[in-house]
Amino acid sequence: MFGKLEKLSLNQTLTSSRRTFKSMAILCARIVLLGLIVLVGAYALAYSRHPTEVAMRFQLEEIHYQGLVHLDRRALDALIDQSVSKNLMSVDLDRIRDLVESESWVREATVRRKLPNQLVIHIRERQAIALAAIDNELYVVDEGGVILDRPGPSHQSIDRPIVRGLMNAARENAQEENILRMQVYLRVVEELASHNRSISEVDVETPEQVAVFPTEDPIPIHLGDDDFLRRYETFMSQKDLYDRLKEEYGTIESVDVTYDNKIIFHTPQKKGTTVMAQTSNPL
């Protein structure tokens, strides 16, 4: 009996402690809320009495950027300065984020106030991974095919083959299509990593029929949509035959390695000849 009474007393004590803690938490929340209301009221009162002084105190004076590598800080400053309120308390943070993210190099941006007169903008930039030939112009693009810049000295570290076949961004569904095509391109250059220095371009205009162009003799070598390394090495194994046919016909227009157990050399149409050779290893 005594044990039960002791347990009941302990439960009552715990229940009382919980109620006290809950009451204290509610009281603290009310105090914080009241403090915020007082602060906002004080700001409103001060602004109504001395609007110019208060506005000057919260006048945007400096923007701090984090994560900038390729973007021009001064250009971003000018873009924001021309487009948003100068009062830090009334500035639209979403508007600033949208402005910054409209820059091609920006993948994502977050913006916050730093009272009394500063903004802090964290930027995650896109990564330049390839040069792309689009509408007969050369551009730097990221892994989704987004155009970032024109090629320049800062992009000399990009040593992958040029990607061909990306759509102009103005065309319908260009973004979704270019993401798909760049995924295929990256698969190709990854599989052909040991040969990339001997390949000048990769054409992914038709992702199901990828073609690569050797640097020393830029004709399309059609590889299909899989087994890129094995198919390209099949072509390399028949290089002597290719050289003999080229000497005989003057030029070879394209090579097709998409079939099983054979490689096809397309000679100029006026010659009217297609040369087919068996391969030693099945594709």
Give the distance from CA 117 to its chain's centroid: 32
User: Once rounded to an integer, what is the mean pLDDT over residues 183-195?
Assistant: 97
94: in domain: yes
Residues 217 and 97 in one domain: no
What are the pLDDT digits (tens) for 210-243? 999 999 988 999 999 999 999 999 999 999 999 9
- What count of other Cβ atoms lies within 10 Å of the Cβ of residue 214? 21
Domain that holds residue 91: 57-125
Q: How far apart are the first and last CA of the chain?
A: 86
d(CA 20, CA 13): 10
Both 102 and 224 in one domain: the answer is no
User: Quick one: 183 and 94 in the same domain?
Assistant: no
2 within domain boundaries: no
What pLDDT is stored for residue 274 in this prediction?
78
What confidence category does residue 161 fall into, taking pLDDT thresholds of 50, 70 and 90?
A: very high
Coil/strand/helix, residue 105: coil
| Res. 47 pLDDT band, cuts 50 70 90 | low
Give the three-class secondary structure for 169. coil
Q: Tens of pLDDT along 95-105?
A: 999 999 999 99
Give the number of domains in the chain. Answer: 2
pTM of the model: 0.74
Distance CA 105, CA 92 (A): 22
What is the distance between the alpha carbons of residues 50 and 266, in angstroms, rounded to a whole number? 83
Judged by average pLDDT, the poorest of 6-15, 124-133, 233-242, 260-269 is 6-15
% pLDDT > 90, the chain: 58
Residue 271 has pLDDT above 80, yes or no: no
36 vs 9, residue with greater confidence: 36
Report d(CA 282, CA 177) in Å as an integer: 32
User: In this structure, are 166 and 267 located in the same domain?
Assistant: yes
What's the rounded Cα separation, in Å, for the pair 24 and 30? Answer: 10
